[in-house]
Amino acid sequence: MLVQEHQLSVQRACRVVRLSRAAYYRPRTDAVPRDAAVIDALAAVAERHGRWGFWKCFARLRVQGETWNHKRVYRVYCALRLNLPRRTTRRVPKRPRQPLAAPARLNQTWALDFVSDTLYDGRRVRALTMLDEGNREALDVIVGVSLPSARVVRALDDLVTVHGAPVAVRVDNGPEFFAQTCFEWCAAHGVAIHYLQPGKPDQNAYIERFNRSYRTEVLNAHVVESAGELQALSSSWLQIYNTERPHDSLGRVPPLTFLPRPQPAVESPFEVSA
């Protein structure tokens, strides 16, 4: 291109693009016929051992007596798209440290987290646990095989209907809390999102301690066959946790005894309006 359009000499054009003159004059050849033997040998190994990586395949070819250079074999290996995807670390944005301070009133900060478990038949289930940091009250536990962000938002809507919206929610960097659905819900209700720093579960210590109790007294104590059965057990246990079970950090009283929720005013049927 430089030689034809800009009338440069071959020597100068090769120097500009850093190409040797030998490569310029070398005729183009189709690599498929030239690498046919490598392709057949790699395909045979990959067909028999589909989960082997490049170096295992290359070592197997050497055992079979092939003497191809590893760079040539790797080029063919990548051209055939035999390279396995690598599991890389998910990059998360840097987060400011979230101090763990117990608020003095309710609905200041709600903590959310996920717990995983296995049913009797081997199926995996997840549980969304929600806690009010003001009195450590367990607001709800939602159990399901799949709990996407839309289900998280519906659970928050149910709690807002009963208790009102919190000032902030404390969550980790899970994909359910990264979703646009969660952002839009928090923006619509004026709720701030306090993300934990990656690898710092101690910044959500209240719900982590609750999850330990939930796993010990419910998940590990019962063998269940369905998500519905686990949901019923969890709901029944929540009543005991909030009203009967002594909480060590609250002076050995239940959460609703330590800081009860105000009951909604009920209009008396005997009142006569003026």
Q: What is the pLDDT along the chain (274 residues), one digit of tens a residue?
A: 656 666 678 888 888 878 887 877 877 777 778 899 999 999 999 999 888 989 999 999 999 999 999 999 999 999 988 887 777 666 666 777 777 777 888 999 999 999 999 999 999 999 999 999 999 999 999 999 999 999 999 999 999 999 999 999 999 988 899 889 999 999 999 999 999 888 888 889 999 999 999 999 999 999 999 999 999 999 999 999 999 999 998 999 999 999 998 875 555 545 544 4
In this predicted structure, what is the pLDDT of residue 18?
A: 80
| Cβ–Cβ < 8 Å for 256, 137 | yes
Q: Indicate the DSSP class of residue 218.
A: I
Beta strands 109-118 and 124-132 are antiparallel
Residue 256 dihedral angles phi and psi, to the nearest 5°? -75, -15
In this predicted structure, what is the pLDDT of residue 123?
A: 92
The angle at the Cα of 164, spanning 212 to 101, to the nearest 5 degrees, equals: 45
In this predicted structure, what is the pLDDT of residue 271?
A: 52
| Cβ–Cβ < 8 Å for 210, 138 | yes
In this predicted structure, what is the pLDDT of residue 2?
A: 59
**Rounded to 10 degrees, what is the CA torsion of 13, 19, 21, 25?**
-100
CA distance 5 to 2: 5
In this predicted structure, what is the pLDDT of residue 19?
A: 80
CA distance 57 to 136: 56
In this predicted structure, what is the pLDDT of residue 27?
A: 77
In this predicted structure, what is the pLDDT of residue 6?
A: 66
Unique residue bearing structure tokens 């090769």: 14
In this predicted structure, what is the pLDDT of residue 26?
A: 78
Q: Taking the alpha carbons of 214, 218, 224, 229 in that order, is the dihedral positive or negative?
A: negative
Unique residue bearing structure tokens 């034809």: 4
In this predicted structure, what is the pLDDT of residue 264?
A: 59
In this predicted structure, what is the pLDDT of residue 274?
A: 41
